[in-house]
C-alpha cells in the first residue's frame, strides 16, 4: 500500500494492553521526593519525554526477536535494577514522592497497515509531530488521584514489512534516569542476552495466541492517549557541574538566552525548572526566574558547549544483535511555556563533573 502526501496516516490498531512489573518484589522500596510548591501549576502531571526507536526487519528471525512477549519478559528483568519506573505517586500531608510499589508500566502492542519505509516517507512529507504521535502513548497523570497513574508507557508498533517501532513515554520527573543512566540500553542488553540462550523456550511466557485481536478499532476508542501534537523546539548543553546549583543559576540563564536566540523566539510567559538534587533521591520543580537576568560570570560562556539528543546513545541500542535503530526521535510533550531540565551525572557524589541542560520552548505562534 503506497501512501501519497494527500492521504491521512493509516489507522493504527490495538492488539493488546498489558502491565509490566519487576520480575521480583522490590525490597526495600525506593522513593524519589518531588519538591514543588505548586504541582498542578508547574505541569508535572503532564510533562513527559518521548523516545521512539525504529527498527527495520533484518532477517526472518526478527519477528521472534521483537515479539512483544519477549519484550515484556526482558523489560520485567530490566525493572529489577530501576523499579522506580514501575512506581506511582504517593502524597502525604507535606510531601509528594514517587515510590517503587511495583504497580507496573503499561505495554501496548499495536499494528499499522503500512511498511516502515512508507511510514517514514509519510513522516517526512506530512510532518513529524502528527505521524509520530501515533507511535507513542501517554496518559496524563490524574491530578486528583495521581497514585493510580502509570509513569511510563511503552508502545510496540508492528509494520507490514516486519519492522517495528518501540516508543517510550516517561514522566519528566524520571527522565533523567531514563537518559543519563541509559535504562533503554540496559533493557536491550538484557533482551539480547535472554534470547541468545540455547535453552530458550519456543514461546515467551507472556504469549496469548488465542486472544482476540482488536481488528476493527483504533487505540483512541479503547484506551485514549493524551500524546500532545504541539510542536516544541529543544536545545541541549553541557555545563561544568560547579556552575549549576540552587544558589547559582547564571549558567542555566545563559542556556535559556542562547536557546531563545537560536530559535528567534520571544520570552515565553512562564518557565519551569526541573533540577535533580545532589542526593539523586529527589527532584526539585520550581518557577525559573527568567525576568531580570543577571549577566553570567566572565568566562562562563566558553565553558558551555552545545550538545545533541544523539549524545544519549539511543542510536546504538540493539534489541537484536547487529540491528541498530534505523532512526531515533526524541521530543518533550506538553510545553505550555519554557522548560529547563538540568541533569547532573548520575554516578558522581557531591558536585558532578558535568550537567546536561535541556531547554525546550514551544514554537512562537503557540505562546
| Banded pLDDT at 104 (limits 50, 70, 90) | very high
pLDDT tens-digit profile of 235-258?
999 988 776 665 557 788 888 888
CA–CA dist 104, 153 (Å, integer)? 10
**Mean pLDDT value across residues 259-276:** 76
Under DSSP, the state recorded for 320 is B
The reply to whether 181 and 148 lie within a common domain is yes
| 205 and 135 housed in the same domain | yes
With respect to residue 1, please indicate whether it lies within any of the assigned structural domains. no
One domain for residues 216 and 289: no
Q: What local confidence, expressed as pLDDT, does residue 217 receive? A: 46
The rounded radius of gyration (Å) of the Cα atoms in the chain is 21
- Same domain for 258 and 288, yes or no, is yes
Name which of 23, 19, 330 is nearest 190 in CA terms.
23
Do 174 and 323 have their domain in common? yes
pLDDT digits (tens, 9 = 90+) for 180-198: 888 999 999 999 999 888 7
5 part of a folded domain: no
Q: In this predicted structure, what is the pLDDT of residue 136?
A: 95
Residue 347 in any domain: the answer is: yes
The answer to whether the beta carbons of residues 53 and 112 sit under 8 Å apart is: no
What pLDDT is recorded for position 142?
A: 92
What the block records as the C-alpha cell of 130 is: 502528527
CATH assignment of the domain containing 50:
3.30.559.10
Positive or negative: CA dihedral 324, 327, 333, 337: positive
Region 212-231: what's the mean pLDDT?
Answer: 57
Any domain includes 104: yes
Under 8 Å between Cβ of 357 and 252: yes
Question: Is 155 in the same domain as 212?
Answer: yes
Count of structural domains within the chain: 2
pLDDT band at 367 (very low <50, low <70, confident <90, very high): very low
Check residue 298 and give its pLDDT.
58
Specify if 3 maps to a domain.
Answer: no
Question: Looking at the domain assignment, is residue 171 inside a domain?
Answer: yes
187 vs 22: CA distance, rounded Å: 12
Could you tell me if 87 and 165 lie in one domain? yes
Cα separation values, 256 from 230, 253, 292, 336, Å: 20, 5, 13, 16
Query: Beta strand 338-344 with 271-276: parallel, antiparallel or unpaired?
Result: parallel
| Residue 212 pLDDT | 44
The pLDDT value given to residue 293: 52
- pLDDT level of residue 99 (50, 70, 90 thresholds): very high
- Range scoring the smallest mean pLDDT among 37-46, 49-58, 166-175, 295-304: 295-304
Mean pLDDT of 72-78: 95
Helices 183-195 and 68-78, packing angle to 10 deg: 120
Look at the block and give the residue holding cell 511503552: 154
**Amino acid 262: pLDDT:** 85
| 112 and 225 fall within a common domain | yes
- Residue 240 pLDDT: 82
Confidence of residue 211 (pLDDT cuts 50, 70, 90): very low
Residue range(s) defining the domain that contains residue 299:
233-307+339-366
Same domain, 76 and 116: yes
Average per-residue pLDDT for the chain? 81
Q: What is the pLDDT of residue 250?
A: 78
Contacts of 71 (CB under 8 A, 6+ apart): 107, 154, 156, 166, 191, 319
For residues 63 and 201, state if they share a domain: yes
Q: Starting at the edge strand that comes first in sequence, how are the strands of the sheet with 354-362 ordered?
A: 88-91, 96-99, 31-35, 282-287, 271-276, 338-344, 354-362, 232-240, 305-307
Q: Determine the pLDDT at residue 164.
A: 92
Quote the pLDDT of residue 20: 96
> What does the alpha-carbon distance between residue 48 and residue 88 come to, in Å, rounded to a whole number?
15
6 in a domain, yes or no? no
The answer to whether residues 316 and 349 belong to one domain is: no
Q: Kindly tell me if the per-residue pLDDT of 80 is higher than 90.
A: yes
352 falls within a domain = yes
Domain shared by 21 and 159, yes or no = yes
Q: What is the pLDDT of residue 43?
A: 82
Q: What percent of the chain has pLDDT over 90?
A: 39
Amino acid at each position: 500500500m503506497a501512501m501519497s502526501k494527500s492521504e491521512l496516516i493509516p489507522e493504527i490498531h490495538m492488539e493488546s494492553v498489558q502491565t509490566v512489573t519487576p520480575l521480583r518484589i522490590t525490597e526495600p522500596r525506593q522513593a524519589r521526593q518531588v519538591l514543588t510548591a505548586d504541582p498542578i501549576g508547574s505541569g508535572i502531571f503532564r510533562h513527559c519525554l518521548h523516545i521512539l526507536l525504529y527498527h527495520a526487519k533484518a532477517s526472518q528471525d526478527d519477528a521472534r526477536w521483537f515479539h512483544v512477549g519477549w519484550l515484556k519478559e526482558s523489560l520485567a528483568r530490566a525493572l529489577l535494577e530501576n523499579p522506580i519506573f514501575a512506581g506511582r505517586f504517593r502524597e502525604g500531608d507535606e510531601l509528594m514522592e514517587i515510590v517503587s510499589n511495583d504497580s507496573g508500566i503499561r505495554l501496548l502492542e499495536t499494528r499499522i497497515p503500512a511498511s516502515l519505509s512508507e511510514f517514514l516517507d509519510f513522516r517526512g512529507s506530512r510532518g513529524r509531530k502528527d505521524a509520530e504521535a501515533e507511535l507513542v502513548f501517554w496518559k496524563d497523570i490524574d491530578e486528583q488521584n495521581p497514585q493510580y497513574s502509570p509513569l511510563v508507557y511503552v508502545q510496540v508498533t508492528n509494520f507490514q514489512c516486519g519492522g517495528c517501532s518501540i516508543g517510550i513515554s516517561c514522566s519528566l520527573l524520571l527522565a533523567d534516569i531514563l537518559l543519563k543512566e541509559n535504562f533503554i540500553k540496559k533493557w536491550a542488553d538484557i533482551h539480547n542476552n535472554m534470547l541468545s540462550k540455547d535453552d530458550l523456550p519456543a514461546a515467551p511466557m507472556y504469549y496469548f495466541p488465542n486472544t482476540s485481536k482488536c481488528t476493527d478499532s483504533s487505540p483512541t476508542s479503547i484506551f485514549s492517549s493524551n500524546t500532545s501534537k504541539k510542536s516544541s523546539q529543544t536545545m541541549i548543553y553541557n555545563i561544568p557541574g560547579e556552575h549549576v546549583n540552587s544558589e547559582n543559576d547564571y549558567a542555566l540563564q545563559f542556556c535559556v538566552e542562547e536557546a531563545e536566540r537560536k530559535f528567534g523566539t520571544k520570552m515565553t510567559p512562564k518557565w519551569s525548572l526541573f533540577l535533580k538534587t545532589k542526593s539523586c533521591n529527589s527532584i526539585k520543580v520550581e518557577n525559573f526566574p527568567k525576568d531580570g537576568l543577571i549577566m553570567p560570570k566572565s568566562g562562563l560562556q566558553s565553558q558551555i558547549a552545545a550538545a545533541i539528543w544523539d549524545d544519549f546513545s539511543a542510536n546504538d541500542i540493539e534489541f537484536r544483535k547487529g540491528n541498530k535503530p534505523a532512526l531515533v526521535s526524541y521530543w518533550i510533550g506538553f510545553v505550555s511555556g519554557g522548560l529547563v531540565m538540568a541533569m547532573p551525572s548520575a554516578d558522581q557524589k557531591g558536585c558532578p563533573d558535568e550537567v546536561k541542560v535541556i531547554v525546550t520552548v514551544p514554537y512562537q505562534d503557540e505562546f
